[in-house]
A and B are shown apart, each in its own frame.
Chain A
Amino acid sequence: MKSNSRPRTILRTYPYWFYLPAALVFGVFFVVPTMLAFYFSLTRWTLFDATFIGLDNYERFLNDPQLMAGLRNTFIYAVITSGLKVIISLPLAMLLTSSLRLKGLLRGIIFFPVLVSTVAVGITFASLMQPSVGLINTVLGALGLPRPDWLGNPGLALYSVALVDVWKGIGIATVIFIAGILSIPLDFFEAARLEGETWVKFRYVILPLARNATFTVILLSFIGGLRTFDLIWTMTRGGPGFASDVLTSVIYKQYQAGFYGLSVAGNVVLFILVTIIVYPLMRFFNRAELEL
């Protein structure tokens, strides 16, 4: 008898209708549009009426060198930003968990850009990266170094924006690594200290034990990199020409042009790309997720 009443109590205490308000909002404004995307990507669409045209939009996408460049750039951008964030933030996190007196202040300084509007960061760096008068090139010039046209050189623009992305996002990566390092039991460091070398501490203690944190950082910045829009759009609008176009800026441009079907097809390509890259990664990093 008692064993029967408990599930019933549970049923009454945790009613399914508590899901309802959330399901309504999430369903209408996320699930439905996502489903609709698959349909509208197969049409020529004016927002009022849609003509079914089969896979034409996808065919366009795959045959258009500019759109394909957007796809390639998205991938490059995601790899570069996530790679650099790991490479830079791990040593930074070690520094900021060492006996440094100013570590509290420095952690705050590094973290603050995370909270600042991406548009504001984009505007600021576009000015700092001005080729002839910008601060960055003024300093480089004074040091006798080459002064690249950061955003105007088609071969460089995408990488320049990626650097700014790293600048803005390094705080969160560092904080994740700091949390990872702080969760390593002290005995491990004691053991390593006997060996005496920082390198030993890094190679045999931090690197293996901060693996989960590394996975988290990679996963996070990879997803963020694939979905990036704000920074590219404020700094270069995908330019010069199509040089720094990524999937999201392509989607926006096609939307602006009134090619709604094509824009949605771009969105579906982005879903697929994110899903086929991120799901296996997540599976692979399953442990990293448990740590969260």
Chain B
Amino acid sequence: MIRKFLFLLLLLVLETSVAAAQDAVTLTYLVDDTQNSQDTAQALADAYMAEHPNVTITIETRPGGTEGDNIVKTRLATGDMTDIFFYNSGSLLQALNPAQTLVDLSDQPFIENIVESFLPTVSQDGQIFGVPTGTAMGGGILYNRNIYEELGLSVPLTWAEFEANNAAILEAGIPPVLATFGDTWTSQLFVLADYYNVEQAVPGFADAYTANEAKYATTPAALAGFTYLQEGYEQGWWQPDYATTRFEQGLALLANGEVAHYPMLTFALSTIAANFPDQVNDIGFFAQPGTDAEANGATIWMPAATYIPQTTQGAKLEVALDFLGFIASVEGVDAITAAVAPNGPYLIVGSTLPDTVLPAVQDLAAYIDSGNSYPALEFLSPIKGPNLEQICVAVGTGQMSAEEAAASYDLDVERQAQQLGLPGWD
């Protein structure tokens, strides 16, 4: 009798929860306005909606860079965030104060599907907040392979070889390095993508830096990134109009072989693949070279993640969690791959890259497979100074020396650490 009653109760509960799930739910998904992020989010939303006809996921876009950080920060702080949102992992996430603003996912079953090394970049105080959305990326040099072939150049393993290549390219009348300071965030790559080399020279730099014990200005290996920007300006490596060229204009120049190198993240590849499908196979990737050819390797960016703010509740929260589970599944990965050319490996257990990945992605995979890769500093330390992009532009346009820039960035980092209330900075 009691059994029967319980069974009926269970049925009833199931019935109502199924009914609840059948109610129409609309989720708004905030993503940045790069083509890559928009396409990724759209592909996930479309695939999910196809299976769940009662759910509608609409994409809302925001600008990238510091501007976008500010939008995300204020919308979270004022309780006005969309139901789910896409945002960087690592130090930028830390600045959002996630333990107070985001839904903890550590109890969710889908966390098991995520490659473990990713989890620290979306965690705070032992809680986990995001699922990786898209692929990991390499930060380094994208280059036009046709130019390398024509001039008989080979991939440089040291900075000196890179300089020699640039000299040869310049002699051939082609600007060796693309600078797109019109979108200021693109200026930081020489500094950020040099982290593999910094780690080789100063093992454990990230921890010392977080503890206020290591500085850019006083660590020669860390200063090097700024020096490269200064050198680029002084040697005339940049193309004409570099101060105002925008990111997408720059990609066209690279794809068409009007410049040879672009210090960039590999996520740019999918935009090139979308806009220049015939030329994307001419683009290769190599790690930003350092001083030692033996210790050559790539700096890796963790994928951005999708998060749920604490303001999402009730049926919306249920659907949002289910959608995050979908993102963290092989199915979700396949949905992305079908729409966006992968820029690197996925961090979902059991997922595979298609056989026909872009050549530049194969280049990147070679570094990872051979164990010659290391995460970028922003995934190892919670501190990233917000003014780095302007400082890099100032160096790249000859207004500041590398030393001044490093000192100025140290000051910026100090402010950020104090603002975050980290120990050891007051």
Chains A and B directly touch (beta carbon < 8 Å): yes
Instruction: Spell out A's residues near B (CB within 8 Å).
Output: 44, 46-48, 60, 64-66, 130-132, 149, 151-154, 237-243, 253, 255-259, 262
Given A240-B397, A241-B394, A242-B390 in contact, is the A258-B241 Cβ separation under 8 Å? no
In the complex, which residues of chain A have a beta carbon less than 8 angstroms from the beta carbon of B399? 154, 240-243
Instruction: Please report the C-alpha to C-alpha distance between residue A132 and residue B390 in the assembled complex, in whole angstroms.
Output: 24
Whole-angstrom distance between the alpha carbons of A193 and B387 in the complex?
A: 62
- Pick the 3 closest A-B CB pairs, nearest first: A241-B394, A152-B243, A257-B386
Task: Tell yes or no: B194 within 8 A of A by CB.
Answer: no
CB distance from A169 to the nearest CB of B (A): 24
Once the chains bind, are B419 and A46 in contact (CB under 8 Å)?
Answer: yes
A47 near B243 with CB under 8 A, answer no
Which residues on the B side are within 8 Å of A44 (C-beta)? 418-419
Does B240 lie within 8 Å of A257, measured CB to CB?
no
| Bound CA–CA A60/B418 (angstroms) | 13
* 8 additional A-B residue pairs with CB within 8 Å, beyond A65-B404, A242-B390, A243-B394: A66-B394, A151-B244, A152-B242, A239-B243, A241-B400, A242-B394, A256-B69, A257-B70
CB atoms of B243 and A240 under 8 A apart: yes
Q: Are the C-beta atoms of A259 and B419 separated by less than 8 Å?
A: yes
Interface residues of B in 214-261 (CB under 8 A from A): 240-244
Most chain B CB atoms below 10 A, which of A131, A241, A259, A262:
A241
- A contact residues around B268 at 8 Å (CB): none
Cα-based distance from A211 to B390 in the complex (angstroms): 43
Cross-chain contact A256 with B66 (CB below 8 angstroms): yes
Enumerate chain A residues within 8 angstroms of B70, measured Cβ to Cβ.
Answer: 255-258
Contacts of A66 in B (CB 8 A): 387, 390, 394, 408
Do residues B244 and A152 form an inter-chain contact, with CB atoms below 8 A? yes
Complex CA distance for A259 and B386, rounded to whole angstroms: 10
Interface contact A258-B95, CB-CB below 8 Å = yes
- Interface pair A257/B242, CB less than 8 Å apart: no
Q: How far is the CB of A138 from chain B (nearest CB, A)?
A: 14
B62 to chain A, nearest CB (A): 13
Q: Contact between B415 and A262 (Cβ–Cβ < 8 Å)?
A: yes
B69 shortest CB reach to chain A, Å: 7
- Say how far A251's CB is from chain B's closest CB, in angstroms: 13
Closest B residue to A155 by beta carbon equals B399
B390 touches A65 (CB 8 A): no
- Cβ of A124 to closest chain B Cβ, rounded Å: 15
Number of residues of chain B lying within 8 A (CB) of chain A? 33
Q: Mark B396-410, 1 if CB is under 8 A from A, else 0.
A: 111110001000100
- Give the residues in chain A near B393, CB-CB below 8 Å: 239-241
* Cα–Cα, bound, A237→B246 (Å): 14
B357 close to A (CB within 8 Å): no
What are 9 A-B contacts defined by CB distance under 8 Å? A47-B77, A132-B241, A149-B243, A151-B243, A152-B181, A239-B393, A240-B399, A241-B390, A262-B415
* CB proximity of B97 to chain A, nearest CB, Å: 9
A131 CA to B240 CA, complexed, in Å: 9
List residues of chain B with CB within 8 A of the CB of A131.
Answer: 240-241, 244
Closest to B70 in A: A256
Cα distance A31–B249 in the bound complex, in angstroms: 46
Do B240 and A154 touch (CB < 8 A)? Answer: no
Could you tell me the distance in whole angstroms from the C-beta of A24 to the nearest C-beta in chain B?
24
Q: Does B186 contact A (CB under 8 A)?
A: no
A254 CA to B42 CA, complexed, in Å: 33
Task: Decide: B398 and A154 in contact? CB cutoff 8 A.
Answer: yes
Which residue of chain A has its CB nearest to the CB of B241? A131
Interface residues of B in 27-76 (CB under 8 A from A): 66-67, 69-70, 73
| A256 touches which of B67, B391, B404 (Cβ 8 Å) | B67
Chain B nearest CB, measured from A248 CB (Å)? 16
Q: Are B419 and A258 in contact (CB under 8 A)?
A: yes
Q: How far is the CB of A162 from chain B (nearest CB, A)?
A: 18
Bound form: Cα–Cα A65–B242 in Å: 24
Please indicate which of the listed interface residues A238, A239, A242 has the most CB atoms of chain B within 10 Å of its own CB.
A239
Instruction: Report the minimal beta-carbon distance from A271 to chain B, rounded to whole angstroms.
Output: 22
B411 at the interface (CB under 8 A from A): yes
Q: Once the chains are docked, how many angstroms separate the CA of A132 from the CA of B387? A: 29
- Knowing A44-B419, A258-B419, the reply to whether A64 touches B243 (Cβ < 8 A) is no
Interface status of B184 (Cβ within 8 A of chain A)? yes
Contact of A258 among B73, B240, B242, B397 (CB under 8 A): B73
Task: Give the chain A neighbours of B73 by CB distance below 8 A.
Answer: 258
Contact A241 B241, beta carbon cutoff 8 Å: no
Q: Are B184 and A132 in contact (CB under 8 A)?
A: no
When distances are taken between beta carbons in the complex, the residues of chain A under 8 Å from B240 are: 131-132
CB-defined contacts of A151 to chain B, threshold 8 Å: 243-244
Question: Would you give the shortest CB distance from A234 to chain B, in whole angstroms?
Answer: 13
In the complex, A46 Cα to B66 Cα: how many Å?
Answer: 17
A66 nearest CB neighbor, chain B only? B408
Fill in one digit per residue for B348-370: 1 if any A CB lies within 8 Å of its CB, else 0.
00000000000000000000000
Instruction: Report the minimum CB–CB distance from B180 to chain A (whole Å).
Output: 12
How distant is the Cα of A46 from the Cα of B240 in the complex, in angstroms?
A: 42
Which chain B residues (72-107) contact chain A, with CB distance < 8 Å? 73, 77, 95
List residues of chain B with CB within 8 A of the CB of A154. 243, 394, 397-399
Docked complex Cα distance between A174 and B135 (Å) = 59
Alpha-carbon separation in the docked complex, A48 to B74 (Å):
12
Complex-state Cα separation, A222 to B184, whole angstroms:
30
A149 in complex: contacting residue of B184, B244, B396, B398, CB < 8 Å: B244
Contacts of A47 in B (CB 8 A): 77
